[in-house]
Amino acid sequence: MSTEDKIRYLSEEIKRLKKERRAVILSHVYQRPEVQEIADFVGDSLGLSQQAAKTDAEVIVFCGVHFMAESAAILSPDKIVLLPEIKAGCPMADMVTVEALQEKKKEIPGVIVVCYVNTSAAVKAESDVCCTSANAVKIVSSLPEDRPVLFIPDENLGQYVARRTGRRIHLWEGYCNTHDKLFAEDVLAAREAHPNALVLVHPECRPEVIDLADAVASTTGMIRFARESDAREFIVCTETGILHQFRKQCPDKEFYLASDKLICPNMKATTLEKVHRALVTLEPRVTVPPEIREKALRSLERMLAVT
């Protein structure tokens, strides 16, 4: 069977099984194009959480990484949540542990902990409010000004939020291995090659890359910006999977990845074969223990109430 035939066959089987299982398939924009194509909803971390919270499906197949499936399990505890590749984690999420966070909280009396959604359920349970790259500025702006704020674990996003809100924020030394590989030189070279292009930057990028941006936004925010902009060309400073949505949603515009280093291996670990297998076996499942779920839910619900 050719690769195209295999993709066609698996996609049809997945669509059939999805109905049989009363399942919904959610995909992050960093997933492989063929995985995005079989999804009922493709979006950023915020959009995916909102979909997970409101779906009436019995099974959620999460094409993304572990913390995203955990958030779905927290928001929809009565559903079966499947993560087709159970080892698909997020290295940034692993850069903060409950123990380290508890220690840090002791050092800053009265601190409000804002946790990026890229954290484990247990860390969310130890935090006050969650955020994504789409709403981090709004969430921090909504906090009382007389209380110190600790932002975990993404230092670049935390620094960006501090600049945008004018607040002094305690930062954590976490970072995304994928966005961290992008340097200002890469963006400057791309700009030289495409002088008419606007630069779209994800706030997980280094500050010197953010400084070169025409727009800083979450993945969905970048796509919206490109759709609404009069510009015809864009340099994209985030994971390569997003190009599929850019080209689908803006077929008359050109998109150039700022560097071919922008690949997240964890996001690419989910394949159609694994989605198919997950729907057949209803495994691997992601669950969250009730005592952690209850506290983590508070952080997620506070975020969803502000957005």
| Binding site per annotation, positions for [4Fe-4S] cluster | 90, 176, 264
Asked if 165 touches ligand 13P (CB under 6 A), the answer is: no
With CB under 5 to 8 Å by kind, the binding choice for 91 among ligand 13P, ligand SF4, none is ligand SF4
* Residue at 288: amino acid letter: V
Q: For tokens 């985030």, name the residue.
A: 238
CB-based contacts of 92, cutoff 8 Å, min separation 6:
116, 118, 153, 154, 174, 175, 176, 177, 204
**41: β partners:** 26
Binding site: what residues are annotated? 28, 45, 90, 116-118, 133, 176, 202-204, 219, 264
With CB under 5 to 8 Å by kind, the binding choice for 34 among ligand SF4, ligand 13P, none is none
**Interaction with ligand SF4 in 109-138: which residues (CB under 6 A)?**
118
With CB under 5 to 8 Å by kind, the binding choice for 258 among ligand 13P, ligand SF4, none is none
**Interaction with ligand SF4 in 262-291: which residues (CB under 6 A)?**
264, 266-267
Q: Are strands 198-201 and 215-216 parallel, antiparallel or unpaired?
A: parallel
For residue 132, the minimal CB distance to ligand SF4 (Å) is 11
**Interaction with ligand 13P in 89-108: which residues (CB under 6 A)?**
90
Asked if 204 touches ligand 13P (CB under 6 A), the answer is: yes
Q: Which is nearer to ligand SF4, 126 or 204 (CB)?
A: 204
Q: Are strands 112-116 and 149-152 parallel, antiparallel or unpaired?
A: parallel
Number of chain residues interacting with ligand 13P (CB under 6 A)? 13
With CB under 5 to 8 Å by kind, the binding choice for 266 among ligand 13P, ligand SF4, none is ligand SF4
With CB under 5 to 8 Å by kind, the binding choice for 177 among ligand 13P, ligand SF4, none is ligand SF4
In the set 218, 240, 259, 270, which binds ligand 13P (CB under 6 A)?
218
Contact 197, 182 (CB under 8 A): no
- d(C-alpha 74, C-alpha 68), whole Å: 10
Q: For tokens 């050092």, name the residue.
A: 107
Listed residue (49, 46, 29, 64) closest to 275, CA to CA: 64
Q: Tokens representing 142?
A: 């909504």
Number of chain residues interacting with ligand SF4 (CB under 6 A)? 13
Which alpha helices (H) appear in the chain, and where do they start and end?
A: 3-21, 33-37, 45-54, 66-75, 98-107, 121-125, 136-141, 155-165, 184-193, 207-210, 219-228, 242-249, 272-281, 290-306
Asked if 44 touches ligand 13P (CB under 6 A), the answer is: yes
From 84-92, 129-137, 155-163, 188-196, give the range in contact with ligand SF4 by CB under 6 A: 84-92
- Binding footprint of ligand SF4 on the chain (CB under 6 A): 65, 90-92, 118, 176-178, 204, 239, 264, 266-267
